[in-house]
Amino acid sequence: METTDMSGSNSENLKTTPESDVIVTEGVTKVYAADGIPVNALNGIDLTIQSGEFTALVGPSGSGKTTFLNIISGLDSPTDGKVWLAGKILSEMDGNELSDFRRDNIGFIFQAYNLIPVLTVEENVEYIMLLAGVPKAERHERVIAILEAVGLKGVANRVPTQLSGGQQQRVAIARAMVSEPAIILADEPTANLDSKTGADLLEMMRRLNAKTGMTFIFSTHDPMVMEGARRLITLRDGQVDTDETR
């Protein structure tokens, strides 16, 4: 099998994995200090996520789901262990390099939508492309196409307060996907939605996953999302408890 050299700056970082492995974690540990007492949020997680997976991270509150998402995205750093993302070791990048790499490779879908209220739908969706220097005409064309794909044709000039919760989450999904990142990370994406809207959005993301090959990773408590995932990873006490592929 053709491989990608995931070498770092010294022999300890040498690692070669298949090109299909978009996320690899090795011994990832995270320790927080709570009132001076160390708390282990993650305890040596080894995982490989392949390109095109539709995976749900599940487990009770405090099991480490959100911490794990933050670490594999580079929003947080592990206390110990390594993370390879699209062939790069995150800990070896400086702040600007990591920000640019994250911008170009990861789309985020947040539970609270995180839309900018004073911007229109089009301006919210195009924002990452604007930062990346994509020309205006291309930005507009891609925004209109992705809004139609997520069922929001005709709302480009509205602001978030003129949309329902389900529509705002669709905007968040469009924003995450419009720059065509390799990975979409979603933290409880259906938590604030009614069951029908949540089901519609999950089905839409499944279709987009099948069509584009983007890798989707969800942190969720929602049984519907768990049922729809093709791989279910259960975390408990900061460790992988079960890992089931369907």
Q: Please list, in sequence order, all residues whose beta carbon lies within 8 angstroms of the beta carbon of residue 122, skipping any fewer than 6 positions away.
A: 140, 143, 144, 147, 156, 157
Instruction: Spell out the per-residue pLDDT of the chain, length 246, in tens.
Output: 344 443 343 334 434 455 689 999 999 999 998 788 898 999 999 999 999 999 999 999 889 999 999 999 998 999 999 999 888 899 899 888 998 888 888 998 887 788 999 999 999 999 989 988 999 999 999 999 989 888 899 999 999 999 998 899 889 988 988 888 889 999 888 887 788 888 888 888 888 889 888 899 999 999 999 999 999 999 999 999 999 998
How far is 84 from 237, CA to CA, in rounded Å? 23
Q: Please list, in sequence order, all residues whose beta carbon lies within 8 angstroms of the beta carbon of residue 133, skipping any fewer than 6 positions away.
A: none
CATH fold of 11-245 reads: Rossmann fold (3.40.50)
Token digits of residue 126: 């195009």
| CB neighbourhood size of 157 (10 A) | 10
- Domain residue spans of the chain: 11-245
